[in-house]
Amino acid sequence: MPMGWKTKNRGKLTLVALIFAPQFIFLLAILIWSPLPLASNRPWSLALLGLLVCVLALWTLARPPAAVRRGGRSPVRRAWPALTLMAAWVALLAFQMVPLPASVLTALESAGSGYPVLNAGLNPISVDWYSTRLYLLKGVTLGLFFWLLLTWVNSAERLEWLVKTLVASGLLQALLAVALFAMNARYWLFFVDVTHEHAKGTFNNYDHFAGYMEMTLALGIGLMIAKLDGRPVSNWRQRLRNWLALLLSKKAVLRLGLVVMVIGLIASHSRMGNSAFFVSLLTTGLITIFLSKHATRSMVIFIASLVILDVVIIGGVVGIERVVLRIESTNMTEAEKHAALDEAKARVATGDTTAAPIVRYREQSLEERIQPGLHTLAIVRDFPFFGTGGGTFHTAFMAYRPQIITLWYDHAHNDYMEFTADGGLLGVGLLAAIVLMSVAFDLIILVRRHDPFALGMAFASLMGILALLQHSTVDFNLQIPANAMLFITIIALPYMVGWKYYRH
């Protein structure tokens, strides 16, 4: 059945279908679970997440969906190039662990230190075999989950349930983040001392929580666009009736949920998280308005209301000025920052309380923020094609860290540089191709489709991708299993919509 959205009693049929789809419910449960144990960013929680995904994969092989058994069309068939690229990336990670003769390593190395030959026998490409093994587990988990998404989300009803579940997960995280932040909570969880000096939900890092919120907000906005009524309004009475119907409908609940999620994002005080959300919303909105031939007036008004209400008004109430202060502080050079701090301390000494926030918030300068990524270029120069091994940045960087950097970095704070250092140009090229294919399909949907749901899902996918790509320039959200899994889901959205086979 085509992905139309005017089927009678669609909600009732969906609930009945869900009862007889335990594998699909299991898939949704995995998505809800992934951010709960500190974003699954611990070896034990990653292993548990991988176990859950493998169980569902075996269950799927034993009992595939009815549509697959009948030989019907499936998102898997439409996404086979992306799945092939993902499989090639996982195969590259496995190849990095294979012991190779010293002569082969010598042939692979570039100018500089090259791959270390520990003995005259066999040595793997990876400079840290254990870390690459753990990274391979992450890669297999994400690859299998990509396939499972495309296998089980094979109808419009299931796609809507998937998006609703993720929006509900984002709302849960926002509520927990705001509540725990308000209480200034501190506790011991999963062997980690957790403090909520910023809003961060069940994440151990508020920037990673912000990354999760960016993507779930994109899904919520896309779902709201999918439910907009594009019919023309002839008079003020009809417009009033539409507004009253909106206040009493499920769309009002969704809109309220989006407001709460924006509050959670702003309360995280994440500089790039808030910037990425605003820029991606504005960019995707403009692309949709100018590129889509079917953008309605209600869609334009809704996007404008998001910018004005959520960012300006709600941001002013919640305290977006602290985020602005952090951004301004980040843009200072090291010399300017020390001068500003000395001036602020002198003003506080004379009784000027307005300078106190500047003294309290000692943010990294732009120089400090980009240093790990810049020095990662040396690793890429010495290991350009196959990298140093998945998940080995923290090991490889020790040999390239200059004396000026005294901190220990387990990640490059730049996903682009870290993926290139770990997997070489070959690895980052495979991942980039997957993302670019999804972006291309999103743009095709915006041009060719006119049904609101397809437009909403394309909007959600494009906005989520743009937000995290921007955030990845100064952070490592894609190294966090929960965020990487959600990003995979967003990449899969255009394949689930089925732009090639369903044109209305």
Helix axis angle for 206-226 and 452-471, nearest 10°, is 160
Residue 489 lies in a domain: yes
For residue 353, tell me if it sits in a domain: no
DSSP 397-422: GGGT--TT--S--SS-S-HHHHHHHH
Residue 384 belongs to some domain of the structure: no
Question: Residue 126: left (phi > 0), alpha (psi -120 to 50), or beta?
Answer: beta
Q: Residue 194: in which H helix or E strand, if any? A: strand 192-195
Yes or no: say if 389 and 132 are a contact pair by the CB < 8 Å rule: yes
As a whole-number percent, the residues of the chain with pLDDT over 90 amount to 45
Is 119 contained in some domain?
Answer: no
Count of C-beta atoms within a 10 Å radius of residue 4: 12
Look at the chain and report how many structural domains it folds into: 1
How many C-beta neighbours within 10 Å does residue 406 have?
7
User: Does 327 map to a domain?
Assistant: no
Instruction: Show the domain range for 246.
Output: 26-95+126-308+409-497
Asked if pLDDT for residue 224 goes beyond 50, the answer is yes
322 part of a folded domain: no
Least confident of 17-21, 283-287, 422-426, 454-458: 17-21
pLDDT value of residue 159: 93
Q: Is residue 347 part of a domain?
A: no
The arithmetic mean of pLDDT across residues 332-343, rounded, is 53
Residue 181 has pLDDT above 80, yes or no: yes
Q: Could you tell me the CA-to-CA distances from 289 to 259, 282, 293, 446 in Å, in that order?
A: 23, 11, 8, 9
Nearest to 322 by CA among 200, 198, 444, 490: 198
Residue 157: band (very low, low, confident or very high) from pLDDT cuts 50, 70, 90:
confident
- For residue 225, the tally of other CB atoms under 10 A from its CB is 24
Residue 344 domain-assigned (yes or no): no
Q: Return the minimum-mean-pLDDT range out of 146-160, 302-316, 330-344.
A: 330-344
